[in-house]
Structure 1
C-alpha cells in the first residue's frame, strides 16, 4: 500500500513540475522497493524529465527486467525508444519500437501510435518510402482503434509531408485540402494554420509561387492571431522563400533564436 502511495506522489510531483520532489520520491521508491517495476519506472521517468538520458535508460532497463506483463514491457520499450531518438541512435530506437509493436499487436492495444513513431524515425533517417509505409499503416490502425481526431490529423499531416518529400505533390495537396476544410469547418485555427503552411510548402515545391504566397500569407495571419511564435517563425521562413524577401527570413531566424529552436530541419 505504501509503495502505491509513494508512486502516486512521485507521479503527481512530476506532473506538477516539481522535479526535485519527484526525484526524492523516486529514489526513495527504489531504495525501499528495489524489486518493484513501478519504482524503477518512476525513477526513469524523472531522469528523463530532467534530461539525464543515460540514467533514465539504465532505470528503464531495470524496470524492463522486473516487468510482469506485456503492457508494462510495451511502455518501457517506448520510453527506451524515445531516449534513443533523443541521443540520435535511430537504428537502436527502431529495434525497441519494433519490440513494442510486436507486443502491442499481441495485446491489441496502442498499435497505431507505435507505427507512427516508427514512421517518425524513418523520416528522421531520410528513408521516406519506409516512413510513408508506416504512416499509412498507422492511419489504418488508428481507424481500427477509433483513435482520437488529434492523432489522426497528425498522421495525415505527416503523410502529406512525406508525400511532398517524395514528389507526390498531387496526393499531398488533396490530403492537406481535406485537413484545411476540417480546420475551417471545426473552427480549429491551429489545424487551419498548419494546413496552410504545408499547402504553401507543397505549392512552393511545385513552383506555383502564387498559390504558395496565398496560403502562406493566410497562415502567417492565423499564426499571429493564435499567438503561436513557432508557427509564425515557420510561416515567415516559408513566405520569405516564396517572396524572395530577406527581411522575412531574418524575422524567422530571430523568432527561432528567441524560442531556442533549431530551424535546420525546417529549411
Structure 2
C-alpha cells in the first residue's frame, strides 16, 4: 500500500532539505487546504523566516499563535516571533515576545528555550544601550546553556559589554 503524503509533510520535507522556496510554495497550498492546521502555518512561517521574508513570516506566525492555546506551542511561537521582530529592528515588540517565551519556558522547565529567549533579550538590551540588563541576561543564559558550542559567542558578547562599560580587564577575561 502506498503511503499518502500530505501537503504538510511535503512542506516539512522541503524545509528539512533546505529547499525553502519549494517549502513556501507547498506551504501556501497547505494553509489553503488546511486553514486550521497549526503545523501547516509553522512550516510556512519557518520557510519565510529562513528566506528572510520577515513580514510574511511574522504574519504567518501571528496566525499560528491564534490557532493554539497549548503552552508548549506558544512558547516556541513567541520565541520565533521575537527573533523575527528583532531582525526587523522592532526591538520593543521583540522584547515583549522574548519575555512571553521566557515566562512559558520557565513554567514548563524548558531550559533550551529559556536560553534562546535570554540570549535574545540580552541582545536587545545591548542594542538599546542598557548594558547592565544585557549583562545580567547573558550571565543567566550561561548558567542554563549546556552546549559548550553556544558559550563562546555569549562570552564575546559579555566582553563587548564590559568594553563598552570601560572595564577593559573584564572585557579581556571574557574575550
Q: Which moved more, 1:125-134 or 1:7-16?
A: 7-16
Mapping of residues 74-153 of structure 1, within 5 Å = 74-109=75-110, 110-142=113-145, 147-153=146-152
Mapping of residues 1-267 of structure 1, within 5 Å = 5-109=6-110, 110-142=113-145, 147-176=146-175
On the 8 A contact 2:119/2:141 being kept in 1, the answer is: yes
Tell me the SS of whatever aligns to 1:35.
Answer: coil
Query: What CA distance in whole angstroms lies between the structure 1 residues aligned with 2:13 and 2:162?
Result: 41
On the 8 A contact 2:38/2:64 being kept in 1, the answer is: yes
Tell me the SS of whatever aligns to 1:51.
Answer: coil
- Residue by residue, what CA displacement relative to the aligned partner does 1:169-189 show, whole Å, maximum 9, x if unpaired? 11222233xxxxxxxxxxxxx
Residue 2 (structure 1) shift: 5.8
Query: What CA distance in whole angstroms lies between the structure 2 residues aligned with 1:97 and 1:73?
Result: 11
TM-score between the two structures when normalised by the length of structure 2? 0.88
Query: What CA distance in whole angstroms lies between the structure 1 residues aligned with 2:4 and 2:104?
Result: 30
Residue 116 (structure 1) shift: 1.2
On the 8 A contact 2:11/2:43 being kept in 1, the answer is: yes
* Higher RCO structure, 1 or 2 (CA under 8 Å, sep 6+): 2
Q: RMSD of aligned C-alpha atoms?
A: 1.9
- Say if 1:134 and 1:32 are closer, same or farther in 2 by CA, change over 3 A: same
- Say if 1:2 and 1:72 are closer, same or farther in 2 by CA, change over 3 A: farther
Query: What CA distance in whole angstroms lies between the structure 2 residues aligned with 1:46 and 1:112?
Result: 23
Tell me the SS of whatever aligns to 2:66.
Answer: helix
Which sections of structure 2, spanning at least 5 residues, go unmatched?
A: none
Which sections of structure 1, spanning at least 5 residues, go unmatched?
A: 177-267
Query: What CA distance in whole angstroms lies between the structure 2 residues aligned with 1:117 and 1:40?
Result: 23
Residue 77 (structure 1) shift: 0.8
Q: Count the aligned residue pairs.
A: 171
Query: What CA distance in whole angstroms lies between the structure 2 residues aligned with 1:43 and 1:121?
Result: 26
Residue 55 (structure 1) shift: 1.8
Residue 33 (structure 1) shift: 1.3
Query: What CA distance in whole angstroms lies between the structure 1 residues aligned with 2:46 and 2:116?
Result: 19
TM-score between the two structures when normalised by the length of structure 1? 0.60
On the 8 A contact 2:82/2:98 being kept in 1, the answer is: yes
1:227 corresponding residue in structure 2: none
Residue 39 (structure 1) shift: 1.0
